[in-house]
Structure 1
Amino acid sequence: MITNLYFVRHAHSVYTPDELMRPLSEKGMQDARSVAQLLKREFIDHVISSPYKRAIQTVEGIAASDIELVNDFRERTLSGGPVPNFDAALQRVWEDEQFAWEGGESNVEAKARGVEKTLELLHTHAGKNIAIGTHGNIMVLIMNHFDAAYDFQFWKKLAMPDIYKLSFEGTKLIEVVRVGSFE
């Protein structure tokens, strides 16, 4: 029995320091409509999202009913405050998966929560097509658990939004396909 998880990295958002309520930009809203059109062809059985507004807005057009909010699919916390150079700070946590900036999560910590929830979904929604509105870094950390080819360099190439269909037999990853292109 094949279970398909469609990890949807949120569309472009307007930066605000309020991570939870940061909305999509006008372009992000247009792209979210395209995401909905693409995924409606995939016969999605259930829609799950990070509780962050930008992730919810990206997948809300797919949902036939309520979206299940799952905190474990929120973006990884890089640090407890601003970092001087975001790319360098992110590269550092990918180079040493145990390292965490003050107030932040290491790759090991963030990956553990994302993978645990992913494995739970594979059991509770076996044989279904599930769309998951999430964020780039946590998405790639989860993918990395199943295949080390999904790493920092892969993350750097992601678009906003981006969709990857991960197909599983039980908990074994059997295929990854990029769905659509938003570059």
Structure 2
Amino acid sequence: MEKNIYVVRHCEATGQSSDSPLTTRGFQQREELKSFFKGIPVNRILSSLLLRARQSISLLASERDLPLEIDDRLTERILSTVFLNNWLDKLKATFSDMDLAYNGGESSKEAMNRSMEVVKDVLNRDEKNTVIITHGNLMALLLKNFDSGFGFEEWKSLTNPDIYHLIFRDQKTELKRIWNGWNL
């Protein structure tokens, strides 16, 4: 049986804290996100706990009369709990060294494994079409699991929002970027 997982990066937000809401543009983008899924069957929606993710997908959940299931494993990866000079360079290094972890942070491997637990749980359920809404770094690491070439540069190219489609069919997985600036 074919299963589809739509991995969505949240819409534009005012910041990175857990309670950062969407910007005015982000609220417009969530309308576009809802419109994008018109005609695409959705049986289940899983979301990060963070406000920007929940706000991004709440219209689709409401329109489809689906519960917005919160899954802590979809929360953004913490690079470090202390301020890092040159954080972008440090993040880049974690795409090469998957075990590299900074003070209080999570390694790429740990974050990837956490996100893959969600995928495995989805695949073990009956629903055929699931939307997962998360954050850029965790999304990149999840996608890297299916495409080893997905790295730092691909992370940098992600947009807010963004959507990748994972198709699971006959013991094979296909990965496609389907948002690509849709209607922006």
Shift of 1:59: 0.8
C-alpha separation in 2, matches of 1:47 and 1:120: 13
Contact 1:122 1:170 in 2 (8 A): no
1:26-66 per-residue CA deviation (whole Å, 9 max, x = no partner) reads 11111011001111321211111000110111111111222
Aligned-residue sequence identity (percent) comes to 32
Shift of 1:113: 0.7
1:119-146 per-residue CA deviation (whole Å, 9 max, x = no partner) reads 11111145x1111110111111111112
| Aligned: 1:124 with 2:122 | no
C-alpha separation in 1, matches of 2:30 and 2:78: 24
Q: Within 5 Å, give how 1:10-49 maps onto structure 2.
A: 10-15=10-15, 19-49=17-47
C-alpha separation in 1, matches of 2:134 and 2:45: 11
- Partner SS for 2:122: helix
Count of residues in correspondence between the two structures:
180
Shift of 1:95: 2.0
Paired letter, 1:102: N
Paired letter, 2:125: T
TM-score by length of 2: 0.91
C-alpha separation in 2, matches of 1:46 and 1:24: 23
Match of 1:152 in 2: 152
Shift of 1:15: 1.5
Shift of 1:174: 2.6
When residues 149 and 178 of structure 1 are mapped into structure 2, their CA distance, relative to the original with a 3 A threshold, is farther
Structure 2 gap segments, 5+ residues each: none
Match of 2:69 in 1: 68
C-alpha separation in 1, matches of 2:136 and 2:19: 17
1:71-118 per-residue CA deviation (whole Å, 9 max, x = no partner) reads 111111110122222311211211211111100000111111111111
TM-score by length of 1: 0.91
C-alpha separation in 2, matches of 1:32 and 1:86: 29
| Aligned: 1:59 with 2:57 | yes
The two structures, once aligned, show a CA RMSD in angstroms of 1.6
Contact 1:122 1:171 in 2 (8 A): no
When residues 137 and 159 of structure 1 are mapped into structure 2, their CA distance, relative to the original with a 3 A threshold, is same
- Partner SS for 1:80: coil
C-alpha separation in 1, matches of 2:106 and 2:44: 29
When residues 32 and 119 of structure 1 are mapped into structure 2, their CA distance, relative to the original with a 3 A threshold, is same
C-alpha separation in 2, matches of 1:175 and 1:103: 32
